[in-house]
Chain A
Amino acid sequence: MTVLPLEGIRIADFGQIIAVPYTAQMLAWLGAEVILIETQERLTTRIWPPFAANEPGVNRSGGFNMVNSSKMSCTLNLRDPEGVALARRIISVSDIVVENYSSGTMQRMGLGYEDVKRLRPDVIYLSLGAFGRTGPMKDLVGFHSVINLFSGLASVTGHKGSHPRIMGGLFPDAFSGCYCILSLLEAIYHRINTGQGQHIEVAMTEALGTLIPEAVIEYTLDGTEPERVGNRHKGKAPHNVFRCLGDENWVAISVENDAQFKALAQVSGNPRWASDARFANPEARLSHQDDLEPLIQDWTAELHVHEVVCRLQKAGVPAGPVLDSAQVLVDPHMVARGFVQSPDHPEVGPRPLGAFPWTVDGGQPGIPRAAPLLGEHNQKVIQELLQVPDDEYNRLLDIGVIS
């Protein structure tokens, strides 16, 4: 692919923490020019761990660098009216504005959609909120855990007979980000066709709500609340993770039908399982999981996880390793597909990150570049793009408007 799909699109990124930074990052990978507007006085991920070599530093945080790659950084003091004025000038030459401050913050700075529309009538302006920008809970402060707990996702997550658990990986942030990316691409397409910009509002709680249709249907039909079942499944058995050789190793095995179960029995050297009445068909296996799982565990516990996966997959049984995040980044399969990219960063060197989960005609649809140093592109944005003359630039620098 020679021309990236978003070349020529400029984005003013007021994203905080993960969700919107992640959104703008993927658009940057797809060719958009993303100007991240940062304020020295309220840095977040830049000053949070993990740091390269465990040494703190505003350019050394993995949490920042892995959701802000391929962007430009411009540091403005948004508490100063002159800083806001510069932000408005950046917006007036941008196609898209994205933000996930708490409700009302952008408006108070004079950077809300109505203000921005006057500067740029065809602007596409996306606001993401934990609970959205309307409704009685719009002002609730909420991080990923609150969104997880409200949305019902935690309610379907947990070990058998135990309490609701919080999904890992700060999942609500990037998952909401995926809906943001989708709606922005759709809005860009609409603007190409009609010339119209628009406002887009996304609620993280609702993004998560799209994941649990069965539970919503069952509750609204007759008040049934979901049971927590660990890794088990209502229609497949065995369907769980099993310990393998070593301390922290598990294999996931999921059997959907009798043919797969027979293959599992064969591969594990227990062909008699297939003729055991307790395991003879899916219904029988579902009601005898407590008997079946320990038998499988006895087999897997003596083997390396990858050996179990290879043997089962060769026999047509769905299985996979339980990978931790370090293993994900060196997984030979994902590395071979180009999912793992290592942009070279001037201060922390090449660091692997997860790029596009898809390829286009066999290649990655865009290539991540390093995350910007704090304020790295101040001159480029303010002097080259906005044409602010030297003496004015220096004055703004001196009084801390550009910081």
Chain B
Amino acid sequence: MAGSFCARLMGDAGADVVKVEPPDGDRYRRSGPYPGGSPDPEWSGMFLYLNSNKRGVSLDIEAPGGRAVFLDLVAAADFLVVGENSSKIERLGLRREKLAETNQGLIVTSITPFGLTGPNSSYLGDDLIAISAGGMAYATPGIPDMVGDPDLEPPLRSNTDMAGYLAGVQGAVASVAALLSRKIQGVGCEIDLSIQETVAAVMPFELAHASYHEAKARRPEIFGVMPNAYLPCKDGYVVVMAVMEAHWRNLMDLAGNPDWAQLEVFSSGVERARNWDALEPLLLEWTMAHTGAEIAQLAQDRGIPCFPAYTVGQMVDSPHVIERGFLRDMEGPGGEKFNLPGYPVRMERTPWQLFRSAPKLGEHTSKVLEEWLGYSAEQLEQTGV
């Protein structure tokens, strides 16, 4: 996942990316969701997402013939992006020192669960392991949401491969940084990216608590000033944030200026935090009387940052997402319409574009071998790929 996403981002930036797949295809060809309803390796939604803007070559790099072709491709490449566990990388000989003898400019970007070095480098991992060992699971739910009952709410991950995407983006960052270094120094390098560390690296505030004071504990705890709360409402959940006095006064206006709003115990953000146990049920009376959409509308009109928990459908169908054209329009094998998330960055001079859809298995094998390696028709036949 992480390696595929990293390479896709490089293809998005205009690189000629060749995906090397085993003869039975990448694992995400078997992952779905399938727009046509039934499993079809050419129509796995996840494969389409992870591999657009790439060409595809099918090779068995563990068999002698395929390995020789693979090494030729690596010798002709600027980058090799590898997303495997470290034992497999060692076993397949994918470390840069082995590969760069004839290609000193080669940059190897290796993305592994725990990195290629260090005491735990041989450990196996996946998203759950990385989110846990990187500190994110312990920190979830995060402010202003909070753990209600520590016994019933263990550390939590999102039901998506968040760490994989994160490592993919960080891998692309590391790769482009290495490309800039190569411009200065003339030689490539080996990037050793640890998915565990990519998770830890995106929670600087969480780490700041541990580094400067004390780590946040997993228990119901009111910080600083209130209200900055995640509360149930008539049809779901909503964040109510009114930590600044002007926001608080506006919020009380919306709630009809109840008598309790004047109480000394709610007279400042700090007081409201101290007396949150008394304030929460009073605020709940107001939130439970409105839908999330009503609360957001009322509050945002007065500049108060309140917002409801959207379903995926509410996000997809929101006028904002539609007007910005964030989602990519796709069509399945039987004309089924669906969307993929698009690119989150608008670059004026180098805008994202779809150069090509994800490749079919082995679609560009001969073409790439001709173009990159100058193989003749005869050589192509001999290699038997």
Contact = CB atoms under 8 A, between A and B. Distances in A.
Contact of B324 (A65, A150, A203, A331): A203
A170 B155 contact: no
Most buried by B among A180, A183, A353, A358: A358
A61 B33 contact: no
Contacts of B92: none
Contacts of A229: 159
Nearest to A176: B344
Given A221-B338, A359-B115, A165 B140 contact: yes
A301 interface: no
Contact of B119 (A143, A183, A192, A332): A332
A241 B133 CA distance: 11
Contacts of A164: 236-237, 309
A217 interface: yes
B336 A216 contact: no
Contacts of A217: 33, 35, 45, 49, 338-340
B205 A157 contact: no
Nearest to B229: A145
A322 B326 contact: no
B160 A50 contact: no
A326 B215 contact: yes
A144 to B, nearest CB: 8
A141 B211 contact: no
Interface in B224-253: 224, 230, 232, 236-237, 239, 241
B135 A327 contact: yes
B344 A210 contact: yes
B310 A155 contact: yes
A200 interface: yes
Interface stretch (A33-41, A75-83, A275-283, A334-342): A334-342
Interface stretch (A88-96, A131-139, A378-386): A131-139
Contacts of B307: 140, 142, 145-146, 149-150
List of 9 A-B pairs having minimum Cβ-Cβ separation, nearest first: A168-B139, A62-B212, A168-B142, A169-B203, A62-B208, A357-B197, A206-B344, A252-B132, A326-B215
B253 to A, nearest CB: 17
A226 B312 contact: yes
Interface stretch (A1-9, A103-111, A266-274): A1-9
Contacts of B142: 144, 166-171
Interface in A200-232: 200-203, 205-207, 209-221, 223, 225-226, 228-232
B184 A66 contact: no
A352 B206 CA distance: 12
B212 A52 contact: yes
A145 B239 contact: yes
A329 B346 contact: no
A14 interface: no
A328 B307 CA distance: 32
Most buried by B among A183, A188, A329, A362: A183
B156 interface: yes
Interface stretch (B70-78, B122-130, B275-283): B122-130
Contacts of A261: none
Given A250-B154, A328-B210, A199 B348 contact: yes
A1 B208 CA distance: 28
A174 interface: yes
Given A164-B309, A165-B140, A182-B169, A328 B200 contact: yes
A400 interface: no
Given A2-B185, A165-B145, A209 B326 contact: yes
Contact of A170 (B134, B203, B318): B203
A394 interface: no
Contacts of A231: 128, 137, 154-157
B294 to A, nearest CB: 15
A212 B209 contact: no
A236 B159 CA distance: 12
A317 B85 CA distance: 13
Contact of A221 (B33, B126, B205, B348): B33
Given A136-B320, A326-B214, A361-B190, A219 B313 contact: yes
Main secondary structure of the interface of B (DSSP, over half): mixed
A365 interface: yes
Contacts of A60: 212
Interface residues of B, number: 140
B23 interface: no
Interface residues of A, number: 157
Contact of A233 (B128, B139, B324): B128
A154 interface: yes
B345 A248 contact: no
B262 interface: no
B293 interface: no
Contacts of A336: 117-119
B179 interface: yes
A223 B340 contact: no
Nearest to A319: B129
Contacts of A326: 210, 214-215
A329 B212 CA distance: 12
21 contacts: A3-B185, A50-B208, A50-B212, A66-B205, A66-B207, A134-B324, A136-B320, A150-B307, A159-B156, A163-B236, A165-B156, A167-B141, A169-B139, A190-B350, A198-B348, A209-B321, A211-B158, A211-B341, A254-B126, A327-B215, A333-B118
Contact of B347 (A65, A183, A321, A354): A183
B117 to A, nearest CB: 6
B170 A320 contact: no
B349 to A, nearest CB: 4
A121 interface: no
B173 A157 contact: no
B154 A241 contact: yes
A1 B181 contact: yes
Interface string A1-37: 1111111000000000010001000100010000000
B363 interface: no
Contact of A146 (B180, B202, B305, B345): B305
A223 B33 CA distance: 13
Contact of A216 (B196, B202, B218, B341): B341
A252 B169 contact: no
B177 interface: yes
Most buried by B among A62, A169, A231, A321: A169
Contacts of B237: 149, 163-164
Given A2-B185, A3-B185, A217-B45, A223 B303 contact: no
Contact of A174 (B167, B203, B343): B203
B210 A216 contact: no
A30 B197 CA distance: 18
Contacts of B145: 145, 165-166
A51 B192 contact: no
Given A214-B160, A334-B200, A360 B178 contact: yes
